[in-house]
Amino acid sequence: MILPITPMQYNGFDGLFLLHSAIVIGAAHDSVERQPSPRCHPQTRKVVFEIILAWTKNAQRGPRVMWVHGEGGSGKTAISQTVAEYCAHTGQLGASFFFSYNKGDLSDGRKLFLTLAYKLAHAIPALRIPISRAIQYDTTILSDSPEVQAEKLIIEPFQTTHHPPVPTLVLIDGLDACEGDDMQQRILAIIAQLVVVHKLPLFFFITSRVSTTIQTAFDSTMVRKVSTTIPLDVFTSDEEVRTFLRSEFASIRHYHAPVMTTIPEPWPSTDVVELLVNKSGGQFLYPSTVVKYVNDPRGNPAERLVEVVVAAAGQSNLSPTDHLYHHILSNGVGLVGDPSSVLHVLGPLACLYAALPPNDLALLLGISPGEISEVLGNAATIEFLTDLNRAGHFWVDLGVHHAELASGCIRYIDQHLDGLEGINLALYQYTRRRWTKHLDNAIPTVALLEQLSNPRFVYSRVLPEIEIVISWLQRIPDISGDLLYLWQRWATEQLLQQSPLSSVRSFSP
């Protein structure tokens, strides 16, 4: 039985403090972890933005959901970022959530409505007390289903307050990066409930790639009646790509003026610009990749552009962007050391479940922070490198890098078993929360198995961690019986300590 909380007992911000511990901090448009965030070039996407801004200004009478979709590299996230910043400036933005592929909490739809509720509580002061009170009354909401979380933290709080005069924008970028087709559909179904059934003063801006799952959800009767759609491929023109390239190359020439003094105007020539426009195929991924490569301060822009043109003029079965990635990695140009050293850093970056500063990541990997910082500019190639069909012999096996990170986490935890003196609390929190997640996705390595054989580390672990380790060990065909028994025996002891008078499940081999 839950006893009522009297006004004297209640602090309106205690519940929000608990809610803050469960949200995804790095998902917001203004999160430090997302900096520098992509933004649209001021001379591109003009028609798209005219449509979007007209929709935001007509939010009280128009469709409550806008879906902007396009292929990878079409600029969806840049559009979302620009819309979020604009609406934050006008006071319309209530909350934003940027999903990211294979990034732990940033891919977890179960965290979405917790995060949105927390942000809405700060955007709309009248929601703070009812949202906080809901958490204080029942903390299990934090681990409940998205449907319950939306009900308790968004629907019911709105029903107890006066609605703001203008609907509040909720922005969700990259819905296709949310793990699980079922979860994507559930999120859209909940959003439809919020605006159709409960008529909350919210309107939703959603971006994603096109998938059968998401398309089906938007085609459903309930969602279709309250939504409008912008297919980006219809609005992308060669002229926009051409404008982007000319503007960016002008900036590059100015930025690199000392080494560009001998390069005659115009640079680049009209023929080169047209070649790049044709290779872009109506998308911004290729030209933006070219610009980043040419603009790298470690090289000469004119020389790099020549390399790009040579690669673009060649014949390949790969997409222009992937062909350029292969060229860069094959020649090691613009990278620190040989390509293998870069892959050694980009692999772990693809496996992280939250952004880590270069110094912290370097500590986990046992390398110098400089190596991390130098490679961060190549992070855009991660999606390419983790796709075997695209990367070929440059493919990075994420299982190897999850093993590296799991090993680094265990090493850091083990170093502080006797005390927290001199500890990096942010890194320690990451290692404690994520070491089992990395382990569960790791391939077995000698270093990792040796660390898991250390009784000092084993006996410091709690039961949920122990069960994950046992499950992982049991998946290894030739695992040492002694190692498995060590963890199983400790699991049984933990169970006995928790419930000494009851029957417990056995962890014996």
Residue 203's nearest CA partner among 276, 128, 94, 301 is: 94
Q: Distance between CA 194 and CA 117 in Å, rounded?
A: 13
DSSP H or E segment with residue 310: helix 301-313
Please give the structure tokens belonging to residue 2: 């839950």
Q: Distance between CA 186 and CA 394 in Å, rounded?
A: 37
- pLDDT confidence of residue 373: 60
- pLDDT confidence of residue 441: 93
pLDDT of the chain along its 509 residues, tens only?
A: 344 444 334 455 689 999 998 999 889 998 877 776 777 766 677 888 889 999 998 878 889 999 999 887 778 888 999 999 999 999 999 999 999 887 778 889 999 999 999 999 999 999 999 999 999 999 999 999 999 999 999 999 999 888 777 799 999 999 999 989 999 999 999 999 999 999 999 999 999 999 999 999 999 988 888 899 999 887 777 888 898 899 999 999 999 999 999 999 899 999 999 999 999 887 788 888 898 889 888 788 999 999 899 888 888 888 888 888 888 777 654 444 456 667 777 788 888 887 778 888 888 988 877 666 656 555 556 778 888 888 888 888 889 999 999 999 999 999 998 887 888 888 998 999 899 999 999 999 999 999 999 999 999 999 999 999 999 999 999 898 899 999 999 999 988 887 655 444 555 55
Please give the structure tokens belonging to residue 139: 């903390």
At residue 208, what are phi and psi to the nearest 5 degrees?
-170, 165
Angle (nearest 5°) at CA 406 between 405 and 408: 60
Preceding omega of 264 cis (within 30 degrees of 0): no
Please give the structure tokens belonging to residue 264: 């005659």
Contacts with 406 (C-beta within 8 Å, 6 or more apart), sequence order: 435, 438, 439, 442, 448
Residue 82's nearest CA partner among 70, 93, 73 is: 93
Q: Distance between CA 232 and CA 125 in Å, rounded?
A: 36
Residue 404's nearest CA partner among 370, 377, 442 is: 442
At residue 129, what are phi and psi to the nearest 5 degrees?
-65, -50
Q: Distance between CA 365 and CA 358 in Å, rounded?
A: 10
Q: Distance between CA 458 and CA 445 in Å, rounded?
A: 17
Long-range contacts of range 359-367, CB-CB < 8 Å, 24 or more positions apart? Answer: 360/424, 360/426, 360/427, 360/430, 363/408, 363/412, 363/424, 363/427, 364/404, 364/405, 364/408, 364/409, 364/411, 364/412, 364/427, 364/431, 365/404, 365/405, 365/408, 366/408
Contacts with 129 (C-beta within 8 Å, 6 or more apart), sequence order: 12
Tokens 């990635």 sit at which residue?
325
- At 422, the amino acid letter reads G
End-to-end CA distance of the chain: 41
- Judge whether 335 and 328 are in contact, CB under 8 Å: yes
Q: Distance between CA 62 and CA 175 in Å, rounded?
A: 22
- pTM given for the model: 0.74
At residue 176, what are phi and psi to the nearest 5 degrees?
-65, -15
Strand stretches in 354-415, DSSP E = none
- pLDDT confidence of residue 375: 60
Question: Order of strands, edge to edge, in the sheet holding 168-173?
Answer: 93-98, 168-173, 202-208, 65-69, 227-231
